[in-house]
Amino acid sequence: MDLVKRDWHPFSIQGEYFLFNSLGSLYQLDEEGAKAVESILEGNKDPHISEEVYREIEEVLAPYESVEIQTYDNLTLKSLCLNVSHSCNMLCNYCFTSHNLTSDGSLMSLETACKAIDFLIEASKDTKNIEIDFFGGEPLLNLDVVRDASIYGKKRAIESNKNLRITLTTNGLLLSEKNLDLLDKLEISIVLSLDGGEKVHNIHRHLINGDGSFEYILPNAMELARRRQEGGYYIRGTYTAETLNFSDSFKELVDLGFRYISLEPVVTSDKYLSIKQEHIPILREEYRKVAEECLKSDVKFFHFELPLEEGACLPRLARGCGAGVEYMAVTPAGEIYPCHQFVGHTQFKLGNIEGRHINKDLQEKFKILNSIDNKPICRDCWARYLCGGGCLANNFNINRNITEPYGVGCEIQKLRIEYALWLRAKRLEVKV
């Protein structure tokens, strides 16, 4: 039998052998089976492996054939990131907004926020599910606009027969019980930045006066978790070259009672903080430890939650994040960028909410780059339908070129997927 190499990924974890098909199937193999699969993928059957083994593998894998993906041009905007505040009450030394225009201190007016919501409602056309995300800076510094824009958005969504979901990303300093009451009432999902325990968190996440912020944020974060045990929040941490042992942070966060956790690699060109190729073996071990912790509990680690059976359809998986097309960011001044990470890099400014002018040529460039078929490296990668072709902003932040893949990011993505698949296999084993 012939297997198209780019559609299959054999891998082993802790002496166990697995085979992943890019369309979402996962198999476990014994050692002989793994050798047989490797030889099939290389196009040379191993004479030392019996025909019986090959027959068995062929029987299981035979139903697979390549699927032709239908691509679509009629994509609509469905998600807006509203940078309601370009001011922050913290000064974290790895923040991607610190070095550009997002730290100019400005706040979005309610008028601009409502115009942006009108733009989203109309540009989303027949798409029912739409999203806004309050981002910054620190969005709670502009709480009145968060409140009033949410109320306006919900009203407009009902009038337009749409389902609006709202998210807010916060450093947690202003997440008082009163503010949390409001966010609960408005059903706003919350992402709270917490890097781990006190020691790790305070390495990078400082108050304006330089003090660590952990002691001020933790009580608010714990109250959030207490209220939302069934979901509606994520604790999001960042690890850097200085804090590679993030599995310890994960355990600390679990011990503190958090059940929804996302720990992300920093994206920076800072030579002391950036993740480098030589860190990959360390990260592999760290993800292994996190996966083992997840196996012991019901904690959700964001990147290990791969809903293979209930995941998105193939045309969606074959596109990237939608930056510049399905997803855009709006600044306090009403400028439109392809996503929150491009804000302030004026060469990527797409337009302005006033007049709704969009630079169609620039948008077309993003549209093309959103398709994995247009990216040679991604097109032949086994992980393409789980990754979607990587983050264009990361490409820019690291390589100053949106078309040049961020190689270390690809490595992290792949090893993260392997452990997500391992975890899935182990969880199913436990269930049996």
Partner 1 sequence: MGRHIRIITESSIDKKEAKKNCQECQTPCRSACKTSMTVGNLVCEVKRPLGKWTW
Residues 253-282 that bind partner 1 (CB under 8 A): 260, 262, 264-267
Minimum CB distance to partner 1 smaller for 316 or for 349: 316
Q: Output phi, psi for 35, to 5 deg.
A: -65, -40
Minimum CB distance to partner 1 smaller for 354 or for 401: 401
Cα dist. 67→4, 23, 314, 319 in Å? 12, 9, 9, 15
Nearest-CA neighbor of 20 among 7, 31, 30?
7
Q: Does 345 bind partner 1 (CB under 8 A)?
A: no
Minimum CB distance to partner 1 smaller for 114 or for 314: 314
Nearest-CA neighbor of 195 among 241, 248, 139, 263?
263
Which one among 138, 286, 326, 418 touches partner 1, defined by CB under 8 A?
326
Minimum CB distance to partner 1 smaller for 155 or for 215: 155
Q: How far is the CB of 318 from partner 1 (least distance, A)?
A: 8
- Tokens found for residue 256: 């503190």
Nearest-CA neighbor of 335 among 355, 315, 364, 307?
355
- Tokens found for residue 27: 């198999």
Q: How far is the CB of 175 from partner 1 (least distance, A)?
A: 14
Q: Which stretch binds partner 1 (CB under 8 A): 204-212, 290-298, 343-351, 379-387?
A: 379-387
Minimum CB distance to partner 1 smaller for 159 or for 313: 313
Minimum CB distance to partner 1 smaller for 115 or for 340: 340
Which one among 86, 201, 319, 375 touches partner 1, defined by CB under 8 A?
319
Nearest-CA neighbor of 21 among 29, 10, 37, 34?
10
Residues between 50 and 89 that touch partner 1 (CB under 8 A): 53, 56-57, 59-61, 67-70, 72, 75-76, 78-79
Q: Which residues pair with 247 in a beta bridge?
A: none
Minimum CB distance to partner 1 smaller for 24 or for 407: 24
d(CA 148, CA 113): 9
Q: How far is the CB of 6 from partner 1 (least distance, A)?
A: 15
Per-residue contact track with partner 1, 383 to 402, x per CB under 8 A? Answer: --xxxx-xx--x--------
Residues between 91 and 130 that touch partner 1 (CB under 8 A): 96, 127-129
* Helical ranges in 109-213 per DSSP H: 110-123, 143-159, 177-185, 198-204
d(CA 133, CA 165): 8
